[in-house]
Amino acid sequence: MDLAKHWRLRHARYRLEGQRNRLTGEVRFPPAPPRPGEAEDVWEPYVLSGRGRVYSFSVVRQPPEGFEDQPPYLVALVRLDEGPMVTAQLTDCDLDQAAIDMPVEMVTRRLRDLGPTGLIVYGYKFRPIVQR
């Protein structure tokens, strides 16, 4: 059931928590262990703003296993304001509405339902920005 895997990823998935380098200020996502030669604590947890722009996108009509009930759906590369690029679904977005450079914001949604004896997996998606 991969319970441990889903549990380990919860901070990154639920709240887009990456890392920031204490020395250089560089922000990265997803979080990773220190590189060879780096101090153990040089990367600190850092919650990204969730704001970004669509770098590119595609419509998925032939879904991978586990996503059979979802097509057609949008998958995008999103360039986050802090710099990192993430791959994620677009939600609350019509297929003909998606566009390169479209401003988007992160929302936490259901990614997958692993069935009556499995977990509901939650994580980040992006949507067109709701007006403030």
Of 122, 130, 104, nearest in space to 48 by CA: 104
Size of the site for another protein (CB under 8 A): 23
Beta strands in the chain (DSSP E): 17-21, 27-28, 43-47, 51-60, 73-80, 85-90, 103-113, 120-128
Enter the tokens of residue 21: 């380098």
Shortest Å, Cβ 50 to another protein: 9
Q: How far is the CB of 10 from another protein (least distance, A)?
A: 6
Q: Pattern 18-57, binding to another protein, x per CB under 8 A?
A: -----------------------------x----------
**What token pair was written down for 61?**
């009509």
Q: Which is nearer to another protein, 69 or 101 (CB)?
A: 69
CA distances from 69 to 54, 89, 112 (A): 24, 14, 10
Nearest approach in angstroms of CB 36 to another protein is: 30
- Asked if 109 touches another protein (CB under 8 A), the answer is yes
Task: Establish if 75 lies at the interface with another protein (CB under 8 A).
Answer: no
* SS3 category, 85: strand
Residues that bind another protein (CB under 8 A): 10-11, 14-15, 17, 47, 69-70, 89, 91-92, 94, 107-111, 120, 122, 125, 130-132
